[in-house]
Structure 1
Amino acid sequence: MYPASNLTAPRPMMNPDGAPSSSDWSLAPSKVHLNHGSYGSVPRAAQEYQLELKARMEANPCTWFMGQYNAVAAARTDVAAFLGVEAQDVALVQNASAGISAVYNSLALAPGSEIVMTNHAYGAVLHGAYRVARKHGGRVRVAEVPLDADAVTATSLVMAEVSDRTALIVVDQITSATARAFPVEAIAEAASAMDVPVLVDGAHAPGIVELPVPSFDGFWVGNLHKFACAPRGTAALVARGERAGTLTPLIDSWGFPHSFPENFDHVGTQDVTSWMAARKSFDTISERYGWETFRTYATALCDYGESLISTAFADLTGQDHTVEVGMPVGPMRLLRLPEGLATTHEDSHNVRAFISEELDIESAVTTFNGEGFLRLSAHLYNSPKDFEIFAGIAVPELVRLARSL
């Protein structure tokens, strides 16, 4: 059904009760789930705890919302402990884009200011930068960093775009479209010497990186619903240094007398039970498996899946579908799709939808520099069989689809 891999498949993960690890999640068994990196998946225990919180909220909304800011502050402390940072440096937000927008909107930019980014930036973050630059009569400078660039090269290319007009550098810790890391610590150090603030988009980092927040004075945002498996709508904004005091929430509320991060604790009547249930996700994985176990297992799975699927493509196309990534990431991989597929952002969505709707496999299809890629990601609930199904079913169909273009 699928080609042989030159790697031995890791043994499927079991939970402490002796059942397949997938039983700790509620994913539909009718689908193969190979796209944890986009929307994550919440353990059953955290789902159940969030429902309990919602029931308490609906049983007495008046009491709940009058004291909600205290519960948010407590959740913020839990998140800070998970990230390995001080609670006074953390605010909770809906997602990484919300945290980045808060930074964009809070910085006092001079007319003509420039924002430096890379060609690997997440689309929504890039569009936000263009909006801010236009508002101040400035521009966005994009550093063209090759996929295979190492840490030194990537740092050099980013800093080459910095000038006396640079008001902010925005850099991904782990990229969405290309599944590679960037040397955020080195870039932050170089920027500090020029007194240029840095905003690190760490959307994918929590869970993948043991201590994801770099030690620097600047801004960092990370989604907790991805590899950390918190309920969706949970993300962290970390700010250190003198510029942290400039941050304000996107929505004005009763936190206005306070400064960061307390001003972010007041969210009115938003349902933020996801923030309060985040610790249940962290603890479920920590206590039942261990975070290092997750990272080791997910990396081994992606090693196996990358080998298996690239071989399957090569057997049919006669081409090399592996990708040399300068700074690879353990639980995420990038493979080159057959020529002609996913060459535009819109087409990448169409290919992903085809794989999901016609083949019952959830995957991530991305576009970079006009070329289409398959982005693999794995978590504890995955098994080698998931990748074997993709190699045996999806690969031939994608080759057929490419040949029909």
Structure 2
Amino acid sequence: MTTPDGAPSLSDWTLTPSKVHLNHGSYGSVPRAAQEFQLELKARMDSNPCTWFMGQYKAVAAARAEVAAFLGVEAQHMALVLNASAGVSAVYNSLDLGRGAEIVMTNHAYGAVLHGAYRIARKYDGRVRIAQIPLEADAETATALVMAEVNDQTALIVLDQITSATARAFPVEAVARAAEAHGVPLLVDGAHAPGVLENPVPEFDGFWVGNLHKFACAPRGTAALVARGDRAACLTPLIDSWGFPYSFPESFDHVGTQDVTSWMAAGTSFRSIEQRYGWSTFRSYAKALCDYGEAIIGDAFADLTGQNHKVDAGMPVGPLRLIRLPAGLATTHEDSHDVRAFISERLDIETAVTTFNGEGFLRLSAHLYNSPSDYEFFAERAVPELVRLAGSL
């Protein structure tokens, strides 16, 4: 992939060339254009803080409209928040679930979102019910297993749109229809969806949160909370502010002296990628890269271990893939961090290592600055070292 000027696409980012970057899905990477615009905004803010902050809520409202257009939703249904977890917490804290309330989630849920659900369940003397979804489950099976946990005490369903640890999708539209039939609200954790899906926010009355700093490449600290239907009116920001006379989403526009220049620079990221490459090009290119990386890295492991390292993720996602690590590696969440650090510090490769049901996985995620040689390098340099590491355990 090259820029319109013929330079390597990596030149549109500021990633250090001494590392191979194969983990865009965790923290993202901000294009130069957005970095430069955010610095201009910060300079403007610091040149006259009084004027800046007195009018910041208007700039936030304008940024909100720009982000809403990118996501394909109406601005009146969307608020800006610092990250997906902040949006989830706003929903948790705003809903009145009632004593004995139960929250239904899956065993693929993101840790911070899961722990927040346990906190809220304790508040109401309720419980969290975990639907056990096999990694290879298809849409119909996943829907049935989620809804099997729903009963008269269910006050909320929380479902990943694209999972973090297992790099697969869930059938949020089907679950939304089934939840509506039971009168149960649905909260969709769409942290990885913006940029990955052409239409990331499904049509349903309920709640959706998504990070803009991952595949959509906005500056970090930028996320969206979408709420539709009667329950949207109950949403309040996590921090009380001068937005108290207003309802959702205007109440979220008032953020005091927080530096939210990241929100205002998000549109620059969206436009830069669209103008220089096209979002549809990103999606097709990233899928092809992950297909290639999955094949050559999986085969490299198999050649050394004699085992199958490819993973059936049930509902795979374009720019994300799982590869099974050699037995014994990353069998716990804590161990996965150690393996990731080993790959980064010893091998100069940034990637994600995850754990699910006691097995360790390499999670690949690709963006426009990646190339086939990145995955070839991993197969040649990292795979033998990881096999040796597993053998030493």
What's the counterpart of residue 60 of structure 2?
72
1:103-122 pair list within 5 angstroms = 103-122=91-110
> Among residues 326, 334, 337, which one is paired with 2:314 in the alignment?
326
1: CA distance between counterparts of 2:310 and 2:190? 25
Aligned length: 393
What's the counterpart of residue 25 of structure 2?
37
CA apart distance, 1:292: 0.3
2: CA distance between counterparts of 1:256 and 1:386? 50
1: CA distance between counterparts of 2:338 and 2:313? 25
2: CA distance between counterparts of 1:135 and 1:369? 28
Code of the aligned partner of 1:292: S
What's the counterpart of residue 59 of structure 1?
47
Code of the aligned partner of 1:27: L
1:7-156 pair list within 5 angstroms = 13-156=1-144
Code of the aligned partner of 2:133: V
What's the counterpart of residue 296 of structure 1?
284
CA apart distance, 1:109: 1.3
Identical aligned pairs, as a percentage? 81
Alignment of 1:256 with 2:244, yes or no, is yes
Q: Which SS does the other structure have where 2:129 is aligned?
A: strand
CA apart distance, 1:135: 0.9
> Among residues 205, 222, 229, which one is paired with 2:210 in the alignment?
222
Code of the aligned partner of 1:171: L
**RMSD (Å), alpha carbons:** 0.3
CA apart distance, 1:325: 1.2
Gaps of 5+ in 1: 1-12
Q: Which SS does the other structure have where 1:193 is aligned?
A: helix
2: CA distance between counterparts of 1:99 and 1:311? 40
1: CA distance between counterparts of 2:339 and 2:12? 30
Alignment of 1:171 with 2:159, yes or no, is yes
2: CA distance between counterparts of 1:357 and 1:131? 36
Q: Which SS does the other structure have where 1:73 is aligned?
A: helix
2: CA distance between counterparts of 1:354 and 1:253? 44
What's the counterpart of residue 267 of structure 1?
255
2: CA distance between counterparts of 1:161 and 1:138? 14
Q: Which SS does the other structure have where 2:155 is aligned?
A: strand
2: CA distance between counterparts of 1:123 and 1:327? 21
> Among residues 342, 349, 361, which one is paired with 1:361 in the alignment?
349
Q: Which SS does the other structure have where 2:182 is aligned?
A: coil
CA apart distance, 1:383: 0.5
For 1:233-255, what per-residue CA distance to the aligned partner results, in whole angstroms no more than 9, with x for missing partners? 00000000000000000000000
1: CA distance between counterparts of 2:272 and 2:21? 20
1: CA distance between counterparts of 2:65 and 2:85? 21
What's the counterpart of residue 158 of structure 1?
146
What's the counterpart of residue 183 of structure 1?
171
Gaps of 5+ in 2: none
Q: Which SS does the other structure have where 1:98 is aligned?
A: helix
Q: Which SS does the other structure have where 1:177 is aligned?
A: coil
CA apart distance, 1:218: 0.2
CA apart distance, 1:341: 0.3
What's the counterpart of residue 383 of structure 2?
395
1: CA distance between counterparts of 2:191 and 2:254? 23
Code of the aligned partner of 1:141: R
2: CA distance between counterparts of 1:95 and 1:265? 15
**After the TM superposition, which parts of structure 1 deviate over 6 Å for at least 4 consecutive aligned residues?**
none
1:326-345 pair list within 5 angstroms = 326-345=314-333
Code of the aligned partner of 2:314: G
Structure showing greater relative contact order (alpha-carbon pairs closer than 8 Å, 6 or more residues apart):
1
CA apart distance, 1:153: 0.2
2: CA distance between counterparts of 1:401 and 1:124? 30
Q: TM-score, normalised by structure 1?
A: 0.97
